[in-house]
Chains A and B, each alone.
Chain A
Amino acid sequence: MSDQKPKVAFYWCASCGGCEEAVIDLAEDILKVVEAVDIVFWPVALDFKKSDVEAMEDGSIAVSFINGAVRLSEQEEMVKLLRRKSQLVVAFGSCAHLGGIPGLANFWDKESIFNRAYHTTPSTDNPEGVVPQEKCTIDGKELYLPSFFNTVYALDQVIDVDYYLPGCAPPRDLIMNAVQAILEGNLPPKGSVLSPNKALCEDCDRNDTKPEKLAIKDIKRPWEVILDPEVCFLAQGVICLGPATRTGCGQRCISANMPCRGCFGPTDQVIDMGAKFLAAFASILDADDESEVEKIVETIVDPAGTFYRFSLPTSILRRRKMEEKR
């Protein structure tokens, strides 16, 4: 009997583990999932090995849910293997979908990251200056580590992806809807993001408090003000990515009185989320005079990191310019 259940795999790449938690957080619903499918690979919870996956026939896994961005050669190898073995691949969560928080490392490269992590952080205790090597010999045995890429990639920049479940982490109702759609074979066109295609502002409970014409002079970071729990964040001078972010999250941050940070990514109409938010946000700055505009812009700390918090690897530029090696 169990042979006829669809086979499902879960895998994680460069991620925090929150997406794995999101699966566990299905709570009782996970029992429904387990009843309907056979989980054949899930490194965080079950003791299957890579060789078990290799032994499967190509295309024999119904669906692989892969979370995390791709930053190591090992991750590239594993997702390529899972792609070969799976009929469907779902990019699960912001990092697989857009590059996510690990994607912010694209403002640096391997050398500068290693230098920071292994030499210059105040907490580094590394008197011999040891840095991970891809290959070393200990007691006559050769040991290998995966290679660390200069650039972090979203999943669809490495393998073909069928569907995207957005969010950091994806909310329970979207996960259950996706699982149900897959089980029933009731799927939207390939490449769809499995969440409504409109901006968060359209659903936002605070939308009624947004003035007809927004105009901001003083930009505040959330910790600098006591935020009114009912008023539009932009009207309070706080950067909220709602206008440029896809809805479907259930306003988890908004109801915790924190502005949207953009984890659901853009709607289908947009290529580059950060640029699109920049266009919207700059146009509501309350200044017409060059020096006044410059004064306000000065107070915006880290625009790239704020506007591309979850989407740098899938933006048009994808990363900071690589320094030419001399």
Chain B
Amino acid sequence: MSQQAFEPKLVGFLCNWCSYTGADLAGTARMTYAPNLRIIRVMCSGRVDPQFVLKAFQEGADGVLISGCHPGDCHYQEGNYKALRRHRLLSKMLEQFGIEKERFRLEWVSAAEGAKFQKVCNEFTEQIRKLGPLSWNGGKKNE
């Protein structure tokens, strides 16, 4: 696949209380942004099991975004702190699997930050476009 033709497939886990509402705001405000992110709404960024992230990469995602409330604003007090710790540790582990840490991103987007959501989507899409497809091939019988 040539670099021009490559459209990144991105999966985004957005928390119900802040980031999903922020994405909704971007929509209702008719902001345009890259259409590459497939959004999955979760109740909290702390609900994102690392298994979800691995599954996304294994099934063909080129990048995964987790987005939650700003530190101190979590609807469940500390879910986003757990997301932060898991993100940093999982990023380190993904590199051992040959998955660049740029492909796995954590962002804080509040319900009022439609514009930030727009910016994150555009930036992430461009960043992964430059990085190229992940083309996960692990584990298939490739002898």
Query: Interface on A for B, CB 8 Å cutoff?
Result: 73, 107, 147, 149-151, 271-272, 274-276, 278-279, 281-283, 285, 287-288, 290, 293-294, 297, 300, 302-305, 307, 313, 315-324
Contacts and interface: CB of A to CB of B under 8 A. Distances in A.
Nearest to B53: A275
A150 B142 contact: yes
B55 interface: yes
Interface in B87-143: 88-90, 92-93, 96-99, 134-139, 141-143
Given A278-B93, A320-B138, 12 more contacts: A151-B143, A275-B90, A278-B50, A281-B89, A288-B71, A288-B84, A304-B93, A304-B96, A316-B51, A316-B54, A319-B139, A324-B135
Contacts of A149: 143
A150 B123 CA distance: 36
B85 interface: yes
Nearest to A283: B82
Given A150-B142, A275-B50, A319-B139, A294 B96 contact: no
B41 interface: no
B113 to A, nearest CB: 18
A183 B97 CA distance: 43
A303 B93 contact: yes
A9 B50 CA distance: 40
B55, B92, B135, most chain A CB atoms within 10 A: B92
Contacts of B136: 317, 321
Contacts of A320: 96-98, 138
Contacts of B93: 274, 278, 303-304, 307
Interface of B: 46, 49-51, 53-55, 57-58, 71, 78, 81-82, 84-86, 88-90, 92-93, 96-99, 134-139, 141-143
A274 B78 CA distance: 23
B138 A294 contact: no
B46 to A, nearest CB: 8
Contacts of B96: 107, 302-305, 320
Contact of B89 (A73, A150, A282, A317): A282
Interface of B is mostly: helix
Contacts of A281: 89
Contact of B85 (A287, A307, A316, A323): A287
Nearest to B50: A275
Contacts of A313: 139
A324 B1 CA distance: 14
B129 to A, nearest CB: 18
Contacts of B141: 151
A283 B47 CA distance: 11
A9 B79 CA distance: 51
A76 to B, nearest CB: 9
A152 B88 CA distance: 28
Contacts of B92: 297, 300, 303
24 contacts: A151-B139, A275-B53, A276-B51, A278-B89, A278-B93, A279-B51, A279-B86, A282-B85, A282-B89, A285-B85, A285-B89, A287-B85, A288-B84, A290-B84, A297-B88, A304-B96, A316-B51, A316-B55, A319-B138, A320-B98, A321-B97, A321-B134, A321-B136, A321-B137
A73 B92 CA distance: 33
A307 B89 CA distance: 11
Nearest to B54: A316
Given A149-B143, A321-B99, A282 B138 contact: no
Nearest to A76: B143
Given A304-B97, A317-B57, A321-B138, A279 B71 contact: no
